[in-house]
Amino acid sequence: MRLFHSSQKTSSNSAKPAQDAQAFESAPHLSTPVSYLVNTLLIVIVIALGQFLISSAFISRYQISVLEQIGIYIIMAVSLNLVTGYLGQLPLGHAGFMSVGGYAGAIFIMKCAEALHLAPRAFVLLSPVAVAIFIGGVVIGGLAAALCGLIIGIPALRLKGDYLAIITLGFAEIIRVVMQNFDDTFNVTLTGGAKGLTGIPSFTNFINTSVLVVITIFVIHTLMKSRWGRAIYAIRDNEIAAEASGISITMYKTTAFVLSAFFAGVAGVLYAGCIGVLAPAKFGFMKSVEILVMVVLGGMGSMLGSILSATTLTVLPELLRGFSDYRMIAYSVVLILVMIFRPKGLFGSYDFSLSRILGKLMLKVRGTSNKKEVSAHE
List, for residues 56-107, the tens digit of each pLDDT value. 778 888 888 999 999 999 999 999 999 998 988 888 889 999 999 999 999 9
The model's confidence at residue 350, banded by pLDDT at 50, 70 and 90, is low
pLDDT at 10 over 70: no
184-202, pLDDT tens digit by residue?
Answer: 666 667 888 878 888 888 8
Indicate the range of 52-61, 213-222, 238-247, 256-265 predicted with least confidence.
Answer: 52-61
Q: Quick check: 148 and 174 in contact, CB under 8 A?
A: no
Domain boundaries, the chain: 27-370
Mean pLDDT of 285-302: 87
pLDDT at 303: 87
pLDDT at 9: 42
Mean pLDDT of 363-371: 60
Whole-structure pTM over 0.75, yes or no?
Answer: yes
pLDDT at 190: 80
pLDDT at 139 over 90: yes
> Hey, what CATH class is 27-370 in?
mainly alpha
Report which listed range, 31-45, 247-261, 313-327, 355-369, is most confident. Answer: 247-261
pLDDT at 298: 85
pLDDT at 36 over 80: no
pLDDT at 40 over 60: yes
Mean pLDDT of 256-278: 94
Q: Return the SS3 of 100.
A: helix
Question: Closest by alpha carbon to 67, among 213, 197, 198?
Answer: 213
> What letter does residue 15 receive in the DSSP assignment?
P
pLDDT at 2: 40
Q: Which residues, 6+ apart, have CB-to-CB distance to 273 below 8 Å?
A: 106, 109, 123, 134, 200, 201, 202, 203, 204
Q: Which residues, 6+ apart, have CB-to-CB distance to 137 below 8 Å?
A: 105, 106, 108, 109, 112, 203, 269
Of the two residues 18 and 194, the one the predictor is more confident about is 194
Average pLDDT, the chain: 80
Of the two residues 39 and 229, the one the predictor is more confident about is 229
pLDDT at 361: 62
Q: Quick check: 162 and 122 in contact, CB under 8 A?
A: no
> What letter does residue 37 receive in the DSSP assignment?
H
Q: Quick check: 270 and 139 in contact, CB under 8 A?
A: no
- Provide the percentage of residues in the chain whose pLDDT is more than 70: 75
pLDDT at 14: 42
What number of CA atoms fall less than 13 Å from residue 270's CA on the CB side? 28
State the CB neighbour count (10 A cutoff) for residue 323: 12
